[in-house]
Amino acid sequence: MTALTIEQVEVSYRARGRGSVRAVAGVDLQVAAGEVVGLVGESGCGKSSLARVAAGLTAPTAGRILIGDTPVAPVGWRRRPAALTRLQMIFQDPGGSLNPRRTIESQLLDGIPADLTGSARTERLVQLLERVGMSDDARRHYPHQFSGGQRQRLAIARALATEPEIIIADEPVTALDASAQAQVVSLLLSLVRELDVGLLFISHDLALVHEIADRTAVMYLGKIVEQAPTRALMAAPRHPYTRALVEAIPQISAHPNLPNVLRGEVPDPAQVPSGCRFRPRCAHARAICLTEPQLREVPGGLVSCHRVEEIAAENGVTELSVAKRSVTESSVTGEIAMEASE
């Protein structure tokens, strides 16, 4: 069952001196119950803008968001309908997303359904804290009295209080150290599998996404350029941008090499290149790339590239040759996962 549906969503802003900035330019994406979908791309590609619209924090310029069959209306001054509380978001900075003037207990109680009263509410509160690995005593304290990793656990508990069907996690571990990252990621994955919750996981860390996501979408300058099952996408990336991102992942080997660096910077969204948006940075660009490609089906996924078949033939790329690199990548994140499970 599809938990979250994003249909042709566009997000535009008015910037002084720059005119209209189109941060998201028509994105379609779905997240099923119990599925982890990774959303990756460089800074400035529109990932966070899409996340905020998907969570209902801002209104889309065009398109719509659905939780099941229920349209997501932007947050207003009034309390959200119960149906929309099934969608929750976990932010990058847990310190900024928790109210410093309120105890953890009061913040968690906000999300617990109103039909639970008296001792049942307290029991539910204790269960939430236990589920994220925190003691009952934590409810009496304030956010500043916890470490970064503990605050993110408490933010996850707050998201779970409403019994959500979909969680959007926008760079949830970027601000944490390696040990805390492993613990939070392990916690999120266990909750997804145990509670059958859909998770849209936004990250810059492709090696991490490789380990946790069932499916991955690659975003560039406001558009999805490739989407496929994660293992297949990492083993044999088809879009030149996806391949550049994968090749930029640091590798551990007997003969260390510097990763390949993608040339250039993400263009200004207010001045999007004509035709293919990746054309100015692509080594495979040809005259046909002056026209904008559409996201189309190819064996195993979706790709927005005119020359995907030609490039594959030119490079003679096989899944096996790239899969060797993926094994190296997974060894690093595998060690982190083992540390989290201990």
- Residue showing tokens 């009061």: 106
Q: pLDDT tens digit string along 40-71? A: 999 889 999 999 999 999 999 999 999 989 99
The single-letter code of the amino acid at 285 is A
User: How far is Cα 335 from Cα 342, in angstroms, rounded to an integer?
Assistant: 11
Q: What angle do CA 52, 55, 57 make, to 5 degrees?
A: 60
User: How far is Cα 186 from Cα 179, in angstroms, rounded to an integer?
Assistant: 11
Alpha helices in the chain (DSSP H): 47-54, 94-97, 104-111, 119-131, 148-160, 178-195, 206-212, 230-235, 240-247, 308-315, 319-341
Tokens of 109: 């109680």
pLDDT by residue for the chain (342 residues), tens only, comes to 788 999 999 999 887 777 788 999 999 999 999 999 999 999 889 999 999 999 999 999 999 999 989 999 888 888 888 888 899 999 988 888 899 999 999 999 988 888 888 888 999 999 999 989 899 999 999 999 999 889 999 999 999 998 999 999 999 988 788 888 888 899 899 989 999 999 999 998 888 999 999 999 999 999 999 999 999 999 999 999 999 999 888 877 787 777 777 888 888 888 899 999 999 999 899 999 999 999 999 988 999 999 999 988 877 654 434 444 443 444 434 444 444 444
Tokens of 142: 């304030």
Q: pLDDT tens digit string along 129-171? A: 998 989 999 999 999 999 988 999 999 999 999 899 999 999 9
For strand 215-220 and strand 223-229, is the pairing parallel, antiparallel, or unpaired?
A: antiparallel
Strand ranges across the sheet with 70-71: 19-32, 2-15, 62-67, 70-71
Packing angle between helix 148-160 and helix 178-195, nearest 10 degrees? 10
User: Model-level pTM?
Assistant: 0.87
Task: Write the CA distances from 186 to 107, 202, 339, integer angstroms.
Answer: 24, 16, 10
Q: Which domains does the chain have, with CATH numbers?
A: 2-218 (3.40.50.300), 231-340 (no CATH)
- CB-CB contact of 329 with 251 (8 Å): yes
**Number of residues in the chain:** 342
C-alpha torsion angle, residues 206, 211, 216, 219 (rounded to 10): -10
Alpha helices in 44-177 (DSSP H): 47-54, 94-97, 104-111, 119-131, 148-160
